[in-house]
Amino acid sequence: MTVRTSDTPTNNHRRGILVFLTIAFALSWLPFVPVLFGSEPAGGMLMPFAPAIAAVVVRKWVTREGFRESGLRPNLQRWRFYLIAAGWPILTTLLSVPLAILFGAAPDGFSMPWGVEGPGMMTLLLWLGISVVGAPIIFGEELGWRGYLQVRLFPGRPWHAAVATGLIWVAWHYPWLLVTDQFPYNRWVSLIFFTVAVTNASIFFGWLRLRTRDVWSASVAYGANNMTEDTWHRVAFTGESAGKPTLASDAVLILAEVLVLTGTVVVDTMLRRVWPTRSRGRRGGLSLQLNADGTGSLSAHDAA
């Protein structure tokens, strides 16, 4: 997960980031303003698409850099990373089962390897398929967060950029979380859990973005979280797809996600440092070059 930069950020580069954040947050937060006056929210239909709208506006009319390195074109030559993007919940959910037993967080009727209950093969394939088919919906967020913001924050320091994007992404969700009361337990504990989970996902999704040079792999991974991960976790810890896992159950799942997702990025980064030549030739590399006018361009230095 490496990003190289040739120039330090310019005023145009900073202005692009500022305008992007302003538009992305305004389109998402303004519908919730009526809540402050005792009314119902005006609707959040634009929220899933706000980051994409912001990215398009900035690229076309603010920095005028266009979409050459936006990751719009799927890079199916990197199909292995698409498999990782779709299948990561399999590892995290199966890992959460022994972790729950180890830390005493297992509910009644819980056992290896599935927990309370496991999905059938056709059900699992359906979840995985929906993760891929639903990618165009998730794309509205990923074109903004991974396609624009994350590769521009902290040039040359991808880990800093991933964490910073994750925290911004968390804050962007706050009105929706608070207004819709998306808290299965204590509000502050829920916000902490959500912050850790989303920041961890930002690291993994950003890694996919850089390794595939597109935003579709991250969109598939995001879809896998919303479909396979969430549903299977409920089934494994409650026996029902609409069940409500306990705080302890969610805690072990987040631990499993950190171990699998951030662990994957760490291992890949270490391997690419140990075998840099082989990494460039087979695993791929990506550089973000900041131009003098503040625009950016991603360039590959590998043979696919």
Q: What is the pLDDT of residues 213-254, one digit of tens each?
A: 999 999 999 999 999 999 999 999 999 999 999 999 999 999
On whether residue 44 sits in a domain, the answer given is yes
Could you tell me the maximum CA-CA distance found in the chain, to the nearest angstrom?
A: 62
User: What does the alpha-carbon distance between residue 25 and residue 170 come to, in Å, rounded to a whole number?
Assistant: 11
Flag whether 257 is in a domain. yes
Residue 3 lies in a domain: no
**Residue 4 domain-assigned (yes or no):** no
Please give the pLDDT value at position 45: 77
pLDDT higher for 15 or 46? Answer: 15
- The CB-side HSE value for 65 (13 A sphere, CA atoms) comes to 26
Full domain range(s) for residue 206: 11-300
Segment 182-188 shows an average pLDDT of: 81
The answer to the question of residue 251 being in a domain is yes
pLDDT category, 6, cuts 50, 70, 90? very low
- Beta bridge partner(s), residue 115: 111
Q: What's the domain count of the chain?
A: 1
299 SS3 class: strand
Q: Sorting pLDDT into bands at 50, 70 and 90, what band is 277?
A: low
Inside any domain, residue 85: yes
Radius of gyration in angstroms for the set of CA atoms belonging to the chain, rounded to a whole number: 20
Residue 279 — very low, low, confident or very high, per pLDDT cuts 50/70/90?
low
CB count in 10 Å sphere of residue 237: 28
Cα distance between residue 304 and residue 283, in whole Å: 8
Q: Is residue 6 part of a domain?
A: no
* Side chain identity at residue 169, one-letter code: W
> What token pair was written down for 103?
């830390």
Alpha carbon 280 to chain centroid, angstroms: 24
Please give the model's pTM, rounded to 2 decimal places: 0.89
Which tokens is 139 given? 């794309």
Location of structure tokens 């603010």: 62
